[in-house]
Structure 1
Amino acid sequence: MQDDADNSADVDAEKHKAKMQKIKAARDRMKEDRQGEKGLIIVHTGPGKGKSSSGFGMILRSIAHGMPCAVVQFIKGGWDTGERRLLTENFGELCQFHAMGEGFTWETQDKSRDIAAAARGWEKAKDLIRDPEIRMVLLDEINIALRYDYLDLQEVLDFLRDEKPEMTHVVLTGRNAKPELIELADLVTEMTLVKHPFRAGIKAQAGVEF
């Protein structure tokens, strides 16, 4: 009986090895066909948590590779967030950080003020994206500014399509991304909300939300 079990395990191992060899060969062929590089337009949207977190993860990867990068926040203003502390206090030589917003729209309750803040943020974003030394720019929560028409969508699309340097990555976060932006983007991820502690009466907490 033990010999039969050993033989069966050997057969399973050989089948697994053969299957993995086929998968590896297919993956190697895919890699050979994909040798090009370009600066990507990346959109993180959807109602789920993790859009900004994913964007900041990319910023940290850029820093780890010694790639100059920048962040422009379109909604958060003077918030003392963990990502802001980390980047400004430890990686200021590689990552510029600009918090241009003045808070959520229901807090400011002043549309003209929100539009002006968004416009300042966009002007700063354009300067950073045009800078040939900067390899990645995170436009955090710009989708919210676009959703409320604080920025001209067509201007943003035209700039990203026509003026973004070829090798610069631009990451745009925020729920309700405009369909036209999704169409333009190279990489789009939609975060899906399954469960959130806020609905159970748990407030936003340091290290999780900010």
Structure 2
Amino acid sequence: MAAVLIGFGTYLYLNYATNEIGYMSAYAYISIGVIACVVFLFLCIGAIRENVCCTVTFIVFMILGIIAQAVLAFLLTNGDHNVGSNLANILDEAWENELKSAGAMSIYESSFECCGRASPQDYIVNDRLPPATCFANGDSKVVENLIAIGCRAKVEHFVTDLLHIFNWLAWVLIVLELIVTFLSCGLCNSIRNDRRRSFY
């Protein structure tokens, strides 16, 4: 799960990070994943060494990591609509490029089945006809096939849905880490009891 969050953060960074909020959200997902990997690695090292002091130290680091992850996940969960809106700003750049040279919006229009930045009216206001990608099945001969939904709303909805999924994944990872922390405490206690019994 940590690798999935790192991958999603990288995906956001490469595709949607056009401003400070985009970069921060990408770094937050990557951080949650990296912290989880490091914490589990250290915890495994402590368990393999069967050293009480080492295991307790790693449990403390794990709790600090979980707190940091929970703060990041809380901020991402509460701000997912703002983050989604900011990540959809990439569409504004595509629209500006569309106004300079036709076809810049076609990838969004065909992928998300949408038309223009806010609606097909965006093309008409700029003295242009909506392209074939603005029509269902690319059939521009039938006016009823014109897609009325703008790409900004579609992309923002898509990104917000992705953020919801990965926010839940982050919380599941944090809960699993808490469970592992409690199991680690039990392991630490067991190691201490075994050492104590070995003296008798």
TM-score for the superposition, normalised by structure 1: 0.22
Q: Which has the higher strand share?
A: 1
TM-score for the superposition, normalised by structure 2: 0.23
Q: Which has the higher helix share?
A: 2
